[in-house]
């Protein structure tokens, strides 16, 4: 960790607690700043507040109003999920107060090499693949996964050295709050139309994602999915060396699939079918990881050792268990249409789909082709159950039932299934109508499956 003087004697507001806010506040105090942490939740819902207070960090909880800025701060470190129209943030913007997110602070503090990964889908799996590959055959240091993957970037920065690598999963929310973050390799997995309730327009969302490469130079690398003309054009914005990857498009360099085989610059790496995790989306994730690994000098053996054994990330098309010939998969992270489309296309066997969640104001007709080809039955819950039912009916799916909650959905899905079927939770919606997080939704699904089958989840 670098001990810099940039924050010494400064008054800094950390907006939002949680892992990122707590670790940011602790780090800033170590660097000599006077820190105030503010969270809208009451203190009895924030167990970390007591420890911060014991360390001499002032906390203000139970409200989040603009008058907190009357205390005259030099900088705001903002929780990425707090939108810019929040009254505290909006006032800070109007007063031209610098605003950063925790990943920017971590990047300033570490001597480790940074690899950044962003995109609408596949970020976590790609980050995990890259991290595991970088730790294969490693003689010095360690590769750490951090950021949006659920591990505080500042906590990781505190323990990192110049021999280490930090592979950061970077959401669009995080990227809006960077100033100097400079990944040596930046990866763009894909871009769809996500989080428009936050970003307001697709253009804003795309621009936020592209901030991952804004500080790169010709000595750096930008790994980009070339299966979309839009993403190819976006790559031209970067000053870094562009390294493409593609599953369906023909490219003559980078990482690509051809006739079921994966190559890097015409060098055979492995067969696509040998990737342990199912689905074409994971072939794309593997190609992004291969490109990054080859840029960083990793051997083919290191790559295949990981990709032939890695069984997936929790809540991302995660195999749970098999019972009575049925395989249960937890894809609770599928919080948008595209993620569920990709999940459905990843299976060759009939699917009983569990779906539904927060109504964000769109229909599901885009999914009709996948429903028609892959779904034999569907069990729906949450605010969007009726909208999903309409689209499933257009796909001529005959067995559709609506239930009140996920606890009821699992036995209903089993009822419609036969031996050889896939029972898949892939909601195509955010979880916030009935759950606090997609992780909570996925964990509930696993508990319900275990209760139904009297078997335990197969740990990865």
pLDDT at residue 194 in the model: 64
- How many angstroms separate the most distant Cα atoms in the chain? 66
Annotated binding site: 119-125
pLDDT at residue 279 in the model: 83
Provide the token pair at 92.
């800070």
Q: Quick check: helix, strand or coil at residue 158?
A: helix
- Helices 123-135 and 280-295 cross at an angle (nearest 10°) of 40
Domains of the chain, first to last: 11-100 (3.40.50.720), 104-307 (3.40.1190.10), 318-453 (3.90.190.20)
pLDDT at residue 1 in the model: 61
Residues 448-460: pLDDT tens digits?
Answer: 999 999 999 987 5
Q: What is the pTM of this model?
A: 0.81
Q: Quick check: helix, strand or coil at residue 34?
A: strand
Q: Check: CB of residue 445 under 8 Å from CB of residue 406.
A: yes
Annotated binding site for ATP: 119-125
pLDDT at residue 4 in the model: 81
Q: Per this entry, what is the length of the chain?
A: 460
pLDDT at residue 35 in the model: 96
CA 58 to chain CA mean position, Å: 31
pLDDT at residue 108 in the model: 94
Measured CA to CA, the distance from residue 134 to residue 153 in angstroms comes to: 18
Residues 147-157: pLDDT tens digits?
Answer: 999 899 999 99
Q: Could you say which residues of the chain have pLDDT below 50?
A: none
pLDDT at residue 101 in the model: 95
Measured CA to CA, the distance from residue 192 to residue 211 in angstroms comes to: 16
Q: Residue 187 carries which DSSP code?
A: E
C-alpha pair distances (Å), 137 with each of 140, 163, 265: 9, 14, 22
| Terminal alpha carbon distance of the chain | 32
Of the candidates 235, 216, 237, the one whose C-alpha atom is nearest the C-alpha of residue 224 is 235
CA 423 to chain CA mean position, Å: 23
H/E run at residue 369 = helix 368-374
Measured CA to CA, the distance from residue 85 to residue 91 in angstroms comes to: 9
pLDDT at residue 277 in the model: 85
């Amino acid at each position: 960790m670098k001990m810099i003087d940039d924050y010494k004697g400064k008054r800094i507001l950390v907006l939002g607690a949680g892992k990122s806010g707590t670790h940011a506040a602790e780090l800033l105090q170590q660097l000599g700043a006077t820190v105030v942490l503010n969270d809208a939740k009451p203190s009895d819902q924030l167990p970390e507040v007591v420890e911060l207070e014991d360390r001499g960090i002032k906390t203000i909880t139970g409200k989040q109003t603009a008058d907190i800025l009357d205390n005259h701060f030099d900088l705001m470190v903002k929780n990425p999920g707090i939108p810019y129209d929040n009254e505290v943030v909006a006032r800070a913007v109007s007063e031209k107060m610098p605003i950063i997110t925790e990943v920017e602070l971590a990047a300033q503090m570490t001597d480790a090499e940074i690899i950044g990964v962003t995109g609408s889908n596949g970020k976590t799996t790609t980050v995990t693949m890259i991290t595991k590959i970088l730790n294969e055959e490693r003689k010095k240091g360690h590769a750490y996964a951090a950021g949006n993957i659920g591990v505080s970037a500042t906590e990781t920065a505190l323990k990192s050295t110049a021999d280490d690598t930090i592979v950061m999963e970077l959401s669009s929310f995080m990227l809006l709050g960077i100033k100097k973050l400079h990944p040596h390799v930046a990866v763009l997995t894909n871009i769809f139309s996500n989080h428009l309730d936050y970003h307001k327009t697709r253009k804003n969302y795309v621009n936020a994602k592209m901030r991952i490469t804004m500080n790169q130079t010709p000595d750096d690398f930008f790994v980009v999915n070339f299966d979309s003309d839009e993403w190819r054009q976006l790559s031209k914005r970067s000053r870094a060396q562009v390294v493409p990857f593609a599953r369906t498009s023909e490219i003559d360099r980078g990482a690509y699939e051809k006739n079921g085989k994966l190559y890097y610059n015409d060098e055979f790496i492995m067969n696509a079918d040998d990737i342990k995790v199912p689905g074409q989306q994971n072939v794309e994730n593997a190609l992004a990881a291969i490109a990054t690994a080859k840029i960083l000098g990793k051997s083919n053996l290191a790559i295949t050792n990981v990709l032939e054994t890695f069984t997936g990330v929790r809540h991302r098309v995660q195999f749970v268990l098999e019972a009575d010939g049925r395989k249960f998969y937890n894809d609770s992270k599928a919080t948008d249409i595209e993620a569920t489309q990709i999940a459905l296309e990843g299976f060759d066997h009939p699917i009983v789909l569990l779906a539904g969640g927060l109504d964000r104001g769109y229909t599901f007709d885009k999914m009709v082709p996948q429903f028609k080809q892959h779904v034999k039955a569907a069990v729906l819950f949450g605010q969007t159950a009726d909208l999903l039912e309409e689209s499933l009916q257009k796909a001529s799916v005959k067995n559709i039932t609506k239930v009140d909650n996920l606890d009821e959905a699992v036995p209903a899905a089993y009822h419609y299934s036969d031996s050889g079927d896939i029972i898949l939770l892939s909601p195509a919606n955010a979880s916030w109508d009935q759950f606090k997080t997609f992780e909570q939704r996925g964990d509930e699904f696993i508990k319900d499956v275990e209760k139904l089958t009297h078997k335990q989840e197969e740990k990865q």
